[in-house]
Amino acid sequence: MTDKKELWDKAAAFHGHVCPGLAIGYRAALYAVDLLELTFSEDEQVVCIAENDACGVDAVQAILGCSVGKGNLLFHMTGKQAFSFYNRRTGKSVRLVLKKPVVEMSRDETYEYYHRCRQEDLFTVKETKIKLPEGARIFESYVCECCGESTGANWIRISGGKKLCTDCYEAYDRFHV
C-alpha cells in the first residue's frame, strides 16, 4: 500500500476538500487494510457496506477502490458512522463503528483528533452483521412499454400485460390509497 500521506492526499483530491468526515473514512479504510490485509480493489476483491452516505465514503472509494459501479460499494443506510469491510480472497470481514469522543471538541479539534488518535480508540471493531453480498450481476435489459427507456430485467414489473420500469409502474397497495 502507498504511504499514508499519499493516501490522504488522494482521498482529499477525490473528495474536493478536507474535513472531519473525510478523516473518518480515511482512518476506517486504513484500519480495514491492517485488519483484513486489504489492497486497492481492481475489481470486487474488497467490498464495503457503508451505513451512511457522508464524506468518509469518498475516502473508502479513493483508498480501497470500492465503487458503486463495480458493485463493491453498497449502502445500508442506518445513519451510523459505520463501515463493514470484506476481503473476498480470505473470507474475512470486520465492521468498524466510530466511537464518540470522550470530550466535546470544535470542528478543527475533531479533525486533528481523528488524524492523531489510535485506531483502537477511534473505532469499535465488531463482527459484520450482513453476510458478504454476492458479486455484481449483469442483467438483461428490456424497454419499458410506457416511457421507452431501457431497464434492467430485475427492475421490470408486469402490469396489464406490459413490461414497465419502476417509474412507470403503479404499485398495488390497498392500505395507502
Kindly report, residue by residue over 135-157, the tens digit of the pLDDT.
Answer: 888 889 999 999 999 999 999 99
Distance CA 10, CA 26 (A): 10
Q: What predicted TM-score, i.e. pTM, was given to this entire model?
A: 0.84
Q: Count Cβ atoms below 10 Å from residue 37 Cβ, excluding itself.
A: 11
Domain ranges for the chain, please list them: 4-126, 137-177
> What CATH number should be reported for the domain whose range is 137-177?
3.30.60
Q: Which three cell numbers stand for residue 48?
A: 464495503
Task: Check whether 173 has a pLDDT greater than 90.
Answer: no
Q: What is the DSSP letter of 172?
A: -
| 56-64 helix and 4-15 helix, angle to the nearest 10 degrees | 120
Q: Computed over its alpha carbons, how large is the radius of gyration of the chain? A: 20
> What CATH number should be reported for the domain whose range is 4-126?
3.30.1330.130
Residue in the structure block whose three cell numbers are 449483469 = 138
Task: Check whether 67 has a pLDDT greater than 90.
Answer: yes
Residue 39 neighbours by CB under 8 Å, 6+ apart: 1, 33, 45, 46
Q: What is the DSSP letter of 168?
A: T
